[in-house]
Amino acid sequence: MDALTSQKVTFKVFRFNEETDYLPYFNTYTLDVTHEEVVLDILNRIKWDHDGSLSYRRSCRHGICGVCSIKANGKGILACKTRLFDLVETFGNEITFEPLSTKRAIKDLIIDKKDFWDKHAAVNPYITGEIDENPVQEHLVSPLDAEKLLEADYCIQCGACHYSCPAVAINEEYFGPAAFAAAYRFSADVRDEDSLERLHLVNQEASGVWDCVKCMECAEVCPKEVNPIEKITKLHNMVFEANIAKNNVATRHAVGFAHSIAKHGLLDEGELVRYSEGNIGVLKHVPVALKMFSKGKIVLPWNMPKADKLDEIKKLVKSSSTVKF
């Protein structure tokens, strides 16, 4: 073994059997790791050489089936695709392996992904359309139309984004980034006839796209570079373009920026809250607003700053706007 291409790494591995354990615990292993090895190789070596009871999911070993996803030092990864030396470069030579969601662990690194699959299924992740049962030729999609899918069809449903999403962790109704990437993938497909219905689904409060916290975790963690938050943004756009955006706090919050920029060039923060919440809803922000006011953090309407060359901004808002609400 070449000394330059191997090193000792300590692994802390999450252990829990829901049938016998009250609490999870960690087992620690120190192994010599070579530069060729991926995380799955290490899990295999631990199982084969140290503890045959260690459980984890594995299948294709080619980064395409998505079943071996776990977390390494909190980062969602595909075990079969992630090189150990890359993890060591990021985190040092102490690596912790955990299931994607510790609260959903069944046995060691295996989780129950029911919530993930239920949410995936809820967005109708398939093409709906009239199909000629005896077609004379293939249903062709132009390269330009195929490009509109962006990378959404690369998703392998590994769940790394779903279980890294802070909104999913807090709000059980929230569909999550993988389901939204699927929703976008089929709604953007020119063959689909169910796009509007799917947009209505993702337009719901609590479960829908408006509850995204915009943290970019899903884009960061995706092992297939699907960039789910880009698709969430596209779904936002499609909801407005389809003219089905409900008049609620979430949509007004987005639209309020356009109004404010057209008026001041800058965002009128106080007015945005009032516009988004409405005249009654805004009252719940009064206690915080009063505290901010006492600290000189609220600009009164007559002191609202304006961008220089506001006429330019107004002209561009008028000529470049592509949607109406």
Partner 1 sequence: MKQLKYALFTGCTAKESTPEQMMSTLAVAKKLGIELIELTEASCCGASHLQDYDDFLSLVLNARNIAYAEKHALTMVTICNTCQLNTAMTKHRLDHNAELKAKVNEKLAEVGLEYKGTSQITHFLYALIDDFGLDKIKEMVVKPLSQFNIAPFYGCHNIRPSELQNETHKGHESAYTPTSLDDLIVACGGLSVDYVEKTKCCGFHAELQAPRTAAVLTGNAVAGAMDANADWMVTPCPLCHLKLDTQTHHASVAIGRDVSLPVLHMQQMVGLALGCTSEELGLKHHVTKVDFV
Tell me which residues touch partner 1 (CB under 8 A): 73-75, 90-91, 166-167, 170-171, 174, 205-206, 210-217, 219-220, 227, 233, 236-237, 240, 249-251, 253-258, 260-261, 265-267, 269-270, 273, 276-277, 287-288, 291-292, 295-299, 305, 307-309, 312-313, 315-317, 319-323, 325
Phi, psi of 80 (to 5 degrees): -80, -10
Using a CB cutoff of 8 Å and minimum separation of 24, what contacts does 277-280 make? 277/249, 278/249, 278/252
Nearest to 211 by CA among 181, 276, 166: 166
Phi, psi of 8 (to 5 degrees): -80, 130
User: Considering beta carbons, is residue 141 or 317 the nearer one to partner 1?
Assistant: 317
Give the nearest distance from C-beta 236 to partner 1 in angstroms. 4
Give the nearest distance from C-beta 229 to partner 1 in angstroms. 8
User: Considering beta carbons, is residue 28 or 321 the nearer one to partner 1?
Assistant: 321
Give the nearest distance from C-beta 11 to partner 1 in angstroms. 17
Q: Contact 10/29 with Cβ under 8 angstroms?
A: yes
State the amino acid at position 194 in one-letter form: D
Cβ atoms within 10 A of the Cβ of 212, count?
Answer: 22
Cβ neighbours for 303, distance < 8 A, ≥ 6 positions apart: none
User: Considering beta carbons, is residue 135 or 305 the nearer one to partner 1?
Assistant: 305
Give the nearest distance from C-beta 286 to partner 1 in angstroms. 13
| Residue matched to tokens 């398939």 | 126
CA distances, 264 to each of 34, 144, 273 (Å):
59, 38, 16
User: Considering beta carbons, is residue 86 or 153 the nearer one to partner 1?
Assistant: 86
User: Considering beta carbons, is residue 121 or 288 the nearer one to partner 1?
Assistant: 288
User: Considering beta carbons, is residue 159 or 256 the nearer one to partner 1?
Assistant: 256
User: Considering beta carbons, is residue 8 or 295 the nearer one to partner 1?
Assistant: 295
User: Considering beta carbons, is residue 44 or 73 the nearer one to partner 1?
Assistant: 73
Give the nearest distance from C-beta 240 to partner 1 in angstroms. 6
Q: Contact 106/112 with Cβ under 8 angstroms?
A: yes
Give the nearest distance from C-beta 36 to partner 1 in angstroms. 23
Alpha-helical runs (H) found in the chain: 39-49, 84-91, 114-122, 143-147, 166-170, 177-187, 195-202, 217-221, 228-241, 249-264, 269-281, 286-294, 310-320
Give the nearest distance from C-beta 79 to partner 1 in angstroms. 17
Give the nearest distance from C-beta 43 to partner 1 in angstroms. 20
Phi, psi of 10 (to 5 degrees): -100, 130
Q: How far apart are CA 222 and CA 151, in angstroms?
A: 11
Q: How far apart are CA 85 and CA 265, in angstroms?
A: 48
Give the nearest distance from C-beta 26 to partner 1 in angstroms. 16
User: Considering beta carbons, is residue 66 or 208 the nearer one to partner 1?
Assistant: 208
